Amino acid sequence: MSRRKRSVMSEDLKNELAKDLGFYDTVQKDGWGGIRAKDAGNMVKRAIELAEKAAARTPD
């Protein structure tokens, strides 16, 4: 039985982050499985930073 992982980030956000962090060419050539673990970690770190900024701007 195969399990399919559901992504938390949209494809658009992932692509934007990959472009910003400089490894989008690798994603285009090899897919998401071709990026380094360090790049994936940096992508998650940047997404968290963006979410925290957005949350700080949003009034309760």
Measuring CA to CA, how many Å separate 17 from each of 1, 3, 37, 47, 59?
32, 26, 15, 8, 26
Integer Cα distance of 33 and 47 in angstroms: 19
- Each residue's pLDDT tens digit, 24-40: 999 999 999 999 999 99
Residue 13's pLDDT is 95
Predicted pLDDT of residue 29: 97
Q: What is the mean pLDDT of residues 33-53?
A: 96
